[in-house]
């Protein structure tokens, strides 16, 4: 199958964020759409929902962060034991050095849960972002020129990292 037409956890995560924003703006979100998101995540989950697969079908840090955060968007409470176990795994791994998107969704999840791991995670991600930000030249203020693990370059990473830094201002 063409990977561009195959549903993915990453695409689903972005779509669910858009639907959540629509709901918060008092737009009607069809119940069937929410049920479809839950069904998809249930079909692709690994380890009873503690992890999610990447494109290769195996457990993947980025897909797990996106899948767990998506579950929260769909109503899973931060006290859910499976969500807490998945969050603990992400916390142990810490921020990824070369995957801004994994860090974005893991940071959203950490912030939404505000559990015991939040303070340590937050300090680690802030330190990593400050240390990896370019300080000189035409690209000062942005992040890395090299492609990250998702194959996206400096502009994408800069946008995602800026969104990580503004999560404190969001609901």
DSSP string, 98-148: T-HHHHHHHHHHHHHH--TTHHHHHHHHHHHHHHHB--SSTTTTSB-SS--
Average pLDDT of the chain, as a whole number:
88
> Burial, 138: exposed, middle or buried (Cβ in 10 Å; 0-12, 13-18, 19+)?
exposed
DSSP 26-88: T----HHHHHHHHHHHHHH-BGGGTB-B-TTSSB-HHHHHHHHHHHHHTT--TT-HHHHHHHH
> Per-residue pLDDT tens for 51-106?
999 988 899 999 999 999 999 999 999 999 999 999 999 999 999 988 899 999 99
Reported for 14-20, long-range contacts at CB under 8 A and 24+ positions apart, including other chains, are 16/70, 16/73, 16/74, 17/73, 19/73, 20/73
**Helix axis angle, 118-132 to 154-165, nearest 10°:** 140
Nearest residue to 95 via CA among 72, 61, 63, 64: 61
Most confident of 3-12, 144-153, 161-170: 161-170
> Burial, 3: exposed, middle or buried (Cβ in 10 Å; 0-12, 13-18, 19+)?
exposed
Give the 3-state secondary structure of residue 18: helix
Residue 149: pLDDT over 70? no
* Structure confidence at residue 145 as a pLDDT band (50, 70, 90): low
Query: Could you identify the residue written with the tokens 């009873």?
Result: 48
Of residues 133 and 5, which shows the higher confidence score?
Answer: 133
Query: Could you identify the residue written with the tokens 């201002």?
Result: 169
């Amino acid at each position: 199958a063409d990977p561009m037409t195959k549903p993915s956890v990453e695409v689903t995560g972005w779509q669910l964020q858009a639907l959540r924003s629509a709901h918060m703006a008092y737009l009607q979100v069809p119940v069937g759409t929410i049920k479809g998101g839950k069904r998809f995540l249930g079909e692709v989950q690994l380890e009873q929902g503690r992890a999610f697969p990447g494109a290769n079908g195996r457990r993947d840090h980025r897909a797990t962060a996106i899948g767990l955060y998506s579950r929260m968007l769909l109503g899973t409470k931060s006290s859910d034991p499976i969500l807490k176990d998945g969050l603990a795994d992400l916390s142990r791994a810490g921020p990824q050095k070369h995957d801004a998107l994994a860090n974005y969704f893991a940071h959203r999840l950490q912030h939404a849960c505000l559990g015991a791991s939040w303070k340590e995670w937050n300090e680690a991600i802030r330190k990593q972002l400050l240390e990896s930000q370019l300080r000189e030249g035409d690209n000062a203020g942005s992040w890395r020129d090299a492609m990250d693990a998702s194959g996206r370059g400096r502009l994408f990473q800069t946008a995602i990292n800026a969104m990580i830094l503004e999560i404190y201002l969001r609901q």
